[in-house]
Structure 1
Amino acid sequence: MLDNDIKSQLQGHFANITRPVEIIAALDDGEKSQELRELLNDITSLSPRFKLVEHAEPGIRTPSFALTTPGQDIHLRFSGIPMGHEFTSLILALLQVGGHPSKLSPETIEQIRSLDGEYKFETYVSLSCQNCPDVVQALNLMATINPRIGVEMIEGGTFEQEVAEKQILSVPAIFLNGEEFGQGRMGVEEILAKLDTGTDAREAEKLDARAPYDVLVVGGGPAGAAAAIYAARKGIRTGVVAERFGGQVLDTMEIANFISVTHTEGPQFAVALEEHVKDYEVDIMNRQRADKLVANGDLVEVKLANGATLKSKTIVLATGARWRNMNVPGETEYRTKGVTYCPHCDGPLFKGKRVAVIGGGNSGIEAAIDLAGVVAHVTVLEFDSKLRADEVLQRKLRSLANVDVILSAQTTEVLGDGSKVTGLKFTDRTNGESRELELAGVFVQIGLLPNTDFLKGTLALSPRGEVEIDAHGRTSMPGVFAAGDATTTPFKQIVIAAGEGAKAALSAFDYLIRAPIADASAEKIAA
C-alpha cells in the first residue's frame, strides 16, 4: 500500500521511537479489513519496535486498530483506514505512543494530566476533511498523557450506516461519553477550555499581566504573520493575538498561486506561517478573540472576550474575513444538518445524494466541481445573470454531466424535516417566480465578510465593514494600522495579504521612531 519513498521517509521518523508500540487490530475477511491489514503490515515492517496483533473483541468496530505500549494505560483507536488527511494523524500517534515527546508546554501537559473524570471521545471524520486531523491529533495526544482519556477516530466512509443513523452531516463531529461535544476544528487548547471551565479565567489573568508591546498584531493569518515577522525583525517588542492562528487559510484546500510555492494545502501553509513567526521573539497568544479597541493616552488597548486587556504603542489589525451567510430562514436551524460551508470536509457525507452550491464565483464553482465527483447531482445557484468564476473553471464545470446551473436565482429559504435539510426555495429574479429544489445538502459559497464587528464606532469603516486604510496601512486612529482581507485593499488574496501585513508593520515601526521626535518638537514650541 505504501510506496518505497514513503516507507523510506517513515523509517527516518520512526527512528525517534524509544519504546515498543503494540498495534492491536480488529479485522475480518472483508475488503476494508484486507486493505487495513496491508497498511498495518507495511507500517509494522518499518520499525523493530512495532508489533502487530490481530485480536477482535465484542463491541469493537471492525475494521479498526488500537495503539498502546507495555506498561502504559493508553486508549487510542482508529476505526476505518486512516489515509488521506488522517495519515499524518496515524504517524504522529505512532510516534507519541512510542515515546516521542510532544511540543506542548509543560503547563499544558500538566493541565491535561490533571483532568479528573472519565472521558471517552469519538470523532467522526472524512478523509478529505482538512479540519478533522487537528481534532484527531489533539485528542490522540491527550490520550497518551492522561489514561482517563480514551479516543477513537471513526472514518465515515467505512461506517456509513452509523453516520446515517446519527445523522452526521458535517465533520469533524465530536462526541464525549455518547453526547455531542463539538463540531469543527479544535486544538488542544480549545478542547481543554471546554473540559476545564477555569481555563479562560486563568488565561485572562496571565494576559492582563503582560507589559505593553511596541507592536501588537491582532490576527494570525498571512497578513498577521507577515506583520509579526517584519516587526520582530526590527528588534521591538512584538505580540500576536489571534482567535485561531492561520485564519481563513486553515479552511483552504488548495493553494497554487502563492509565488514560489507551486502547490500546498491550507493547513500545511498555516503551520508554516506559525513556525516562521516562532523563529523570532514574538509573543503568540492563540485562541483569543478581540472584543474592543480603545485609545488610552500613549497606548492603544485591545480588550479580549475573556475579559483581559492587552496594551501596545501601536496596533496592526489583521483580523481577516469569514464566510458570508445567506441570512434566510432555515440556514441557522440546519447548519451542520445539511447546510455547510466546507465542500472538502463534508462532501463525502453526501455521497449519492443531490446537493446545491450557492454562489457562482471561483469558490462556488470549485466546490461544484469537487462535489460532482462524489454526489449524485449538483445544482449551482447564482444570484447574478452570469457566473463570475474564472473561465478555466467554467469550462471544467460545463464538461460535467451531473451539474446544472441556475442563474438569476435568489435563495429564500432552506427547507427541512426538523432534523436535516430536505430542499430549498429560490426566486427566479427574471420573472419573480418561486421554485423549490429537493436536496440533501446546501453548500454556501457566497463570499466573505470582514471580521470587524468589534471595531464599529471606533475606526472609519467602509459601507461593507472593511477598515479604511491609506497607502501606508494607516487607519483613522493614530498608531493603529491594518492589513489583509479586513481592509479596503482590493483583491483578497494570500500573497496580497502577506505583502500588506509587511507594509503595515513597517509603517508602525516608522510611526514609533517618529513619535518621540514629534513629541519633542511640540514641547519646544510650547516653551
Structure 2
Amino acid sequence: MLDANIKKQLDTYLQHIKQPIELSVSTDNSPKAQELQDLAQELATMSSLIGLTDSNSKRSPSMSVAPQGQAPRVSFAGVPMGHEFSSLVLALLQAGGHPSKADPALLEQIRSLKGEYHFETFISLSCHNCPDVVQALNLMASLNPNITHVMIDGALFQDEVNQRQVMAVPAVYLNGEHFGQGRMTLEEIVTKVDSNAAEAKAAALNDKETYDVLVLGGGPAGAAAAIYAARKGIRTGLVAERFGGQVMDTVGIENFISVPYTEGPKLAAGLEQHVKEYGVDIITGQRAAQVSRGDLVEVALESGATLKARSLILATGARWRELGVPGEAQYRTKGVAYCPHCDGPFFKGKKVAVIGGGNSGIEAAIDLAGIVEHVTVLEFADTLRADEVLVKKARSLGNVDIITNAQTTEVLGDGSKVNGLAYKDRVSGKDKQLELAGIFVQIGLVPNTEFLKESGIELTRFGEVIIDAKGATSMAGVFAAGDATTVPYKQIVISMGAGATAALSAFDHLIRS
C-alpha cells in the first residue's frame, strides 16, 4: 500500500519509537476497511514495537493508536492517508514515547487540565488545514488520560456528516457539542479549553522587557522582518495569532523563486523554524487591538496585555474578502465556504457557485469541476480577470458555466443550509436565482488593519497601510510590509522582500535616534 519512497522515510521515523505500541483496528466488508487493514499490517511489519489487534468500534473502518497495555485515546475513523498520513505518523511516535517539540510550558498546561474532554474532528483528506487540528488534539490526548480524540473522514461517514450538518472542515466537537471551525493551533485550543489561564498569560506578557523591534504578523513579511532584525543583534519579538498567515491556506506554490513547487503549510513551517533559529521572542495566540506612540511604541493586545517597543513593523497581512450580502454570515460553514480545496469534497455530486472571476476564482472552478455536478462562476465585471490559460481551461469543461455582469445580492437557504443564490444581471437589471448546495467566495483580500483606525497611522480608503519606499508609515518608528500595505502586488516573494526592507529601515531608525 505504501510505496518504496514513503516506506523508506517512514522507517527512519519509526526508529524513534522507544516503547511498544498497539494498533487496534475495527473493520467491516468495505473496500476502505480492507485498505485500512492492509495499512495497519504494513505498519506492524515495519517495527517489532508495533502490535496489531482487532477491535469493535462504533465506527468502521477505524484504527486506534496507544501504548501497549493502555486504553486507546487517539483514533482515526477512516484511512489516514493524504494530508492526514503525517497525523498518523506523529500519533505512532507519541504513543511510542517520542517527545513533542511543543513549548514545554504548554505541554505541562495540557497535562494539568482537569475534567473529561472527548474531541471529534471531521476532516477531508484533501484539506491542508485539517492536519494541524488533528495533530494538536492527538497530542493533547497522548499527554492527558482525561482527553480522547477521534479523526473522522467525512467522506466515509456521511450519515454523521448529514446529521450534524457538517459542510466545512475541520469541524471540531467537544463532548458532543460544536467546539470550533477551521484551522486552530495547539495554543488556541488549549486557551479555549483552559480559560483560567488567559489572565496569567496576559500578566506574563505585561512583564516583557521593551523590544528594539516588535513585529506584528507571522506570515512571509513578518518572518522576513523578524529574521533581518534579529540578525542585527537587537532584541526582537514577533506577535501573531498563528504562524504562516495566508500561506497556510495556499495549496500549491509554483512561483517561489528557486523552488519549483511547494505547499503553503510546508513553507509556513520552514518560515517558523528559520525565525526560531535566531532567538526571536515568538508570541502566538494573540491579536493586536491598538497601536499608540509615546516615548515608545505601545501595542495593546485583545487579551489585555500591552507590549512596548522602540520600533514596530506591521505585517498583519490580509484575509479573504466577504460578499457582505444577506445570508452570508448565517450560512458560513453551512454552504458558504472560502477554501475549495478544504471543503470541495463535501459537495460531491452537487451544484455549486464560485463568486469571483480572478485567478483564484477560476482555479477554484477548475478544481471543483472534478468533484461536483456543476459549477457556475459569477463575475461582477463584464470580463474575467483571470489569466487566459485558466479561462480557456475553465470554458473547456462541460460542467462549468461562466456568467459575467452578475451582482450577487443574497445567499439563500432553508434555515440550516444553503439552497440557492440570488443575483442581479447588471445589463438587463433583472433579478435571478440559482439552485445550489454551496457557494465558494473568491473575491480578493481585505487587509487586517482594523485595529489601526484610531492609531493615527495613515491608511487608504481600502484599509491598506500607506508606506514609502523604505516601508515607513506616517508614525515615527513604525514600518509596515506585505499584503496589509500599499505594495502593488500581493505575492509571497514580494512580501518577504518588503519585510526585509522594513527591518533594515527599522534598524536604521534605531541607530539614528
Contact preservation (8 Å) 2:334, 2:416: yes
Between the aligned partners of 1:212 and 1:392, the Cα distance in structure 2 is: 51
After superposition, residues 105-116 of structure 1 pair within 5 angstroms as 105-116=103-114
1:421 maps to which of 409, 418, 423: 418
2:388 corresponds to which residue?
391
SS of corresponding position for 2:282: strand
Shift of 1:56: 2.1
Contact preservation (8 Å) 1:74, 1:144: no
2:54 corresponds to which residue?
54
Shift of 1:161: 2.3
Deviations 1:455-485 (A, max 9, x none): 1132111111100000000000000000000
Contact preservation (8 Å) 2:73, 2:149: yes
Matched, 1:381 2:378: yes
2:337 corresponds to which residue?
340
Matched, 1:446 2:435: no
Shift of 1:71: 4.4
Matched, 1:270 2:280: no
After superposition, residues 46-445 of structure 1 pair within 5 angstroms as 46-57=46-57, 60-297=58-295, 299-445=296-442
Between the aligned partners of 1:70 and 1:15, the Cα distance in structure 2 is: 17
Q: Where in structure 2 are there 5+ consecutive unaligned residues? A: none
1:5 corresponds to which residue?
5
Between the aligned partners of 1:504 and 1:511, the Cα distance in structure 2 is: 10
Shift of 1:74: 4.1
Deviations 1:160-201 (A, max 9, x none): 222122211011111111111110111211111111112221
Shift of 1:73: 4.6
Deviations 1:122-142 (A, max 9, x none): 100000111111110000001
- TM-score by length of structure 2 reads 0.99
Between the aligned partners of 2:414 and 2:144, the Cα distance in structure 1 is: 41
Shift of 1:109: 1.6
Shift of 1:358: 0.2
Between the aligned partners of 1:166 and 1:397, the Cα distance in structure 2 is: 33
Contact preservation (8 Å) 1:255, 1:264: yes
Between the aligned partners of 2:29 and 2:50, the Cα distance in structure 1 is: 23
Deviations 1:101-149 (A, max 9, x none): 0012222122111111111111000001111111100000011100110
Matched, 1:482 2:485: no
Q: Which amino acid aligns with 2:257?
A: I
- TM-score by length of structure 1 reads 0.96
Contact preservation (8 Å) 1:23, 1:68: yes
Between the aligned partners of 2:361 and 2:367, the Cα distance in structure 1 is: 10
Contact preservation (8 Å) 2:208, 2:307: yes
Contact preservation (8 Å) 1:74, 1:143: no
SS of corresponding position for 2:303: coil
Between the aligned partners of 2:70 and 2:101, the Cα distance in structure 1 is: 20
Percent identical: 63
Between the aligned partners of 1:374 and 1:72, the Cα distance in structure 2 is: 41
Shift of 1:51: 1.0
SS of corresponding position for 2:204: helix
Contact preservation (8 Å) 1:192, 1:199: no
SS of corresponding position for 1:484: coil
SS of corresponding position for 2:88: helix
Moved more, 193-202 or 414-423: 193-202
2:491 corresponds to which residue?
493
Deviations 1:317-342 (A, max 9, x none): 00000111100000000001000101
Q: Which amino acid aligns with 2:356?
A: G
Deviations 1:341-367 (A, max 9, x none): 010110000000000000000110111
Between the aligned partners of 2:195 and 2:473, the Cα distance in structure 1 is: 37
Between the aligned partners of 1:74 and 1:309, the Cα distance in structure 2 is: 42
2:24 corresponds to which residue?
24
SS of corresponding position for 1:505: helix
SS of corresponding position for 1:311: strand
Q: Which amino acid aligns with 2:427?
A: T
Shift of 1:29: 2.1
What is the RMSD of the two structures over their aligned residues, measured on CA atoms?
A: 0.9
Between the aligned partners of 1:202 and 1:261, the Cα distance in structure 2 is: 43
Shift of 1:158: 1.0
Q: Which amino acid aligns with 2:158?
A: E
Contact preservation (8 Å) 1:73, 1:147: no
Report how many aligned residue pairs link the two structures: 512
1:459 corresponds to which residue?
457
Q: Which amino acid aligns with 2:67?
A: T
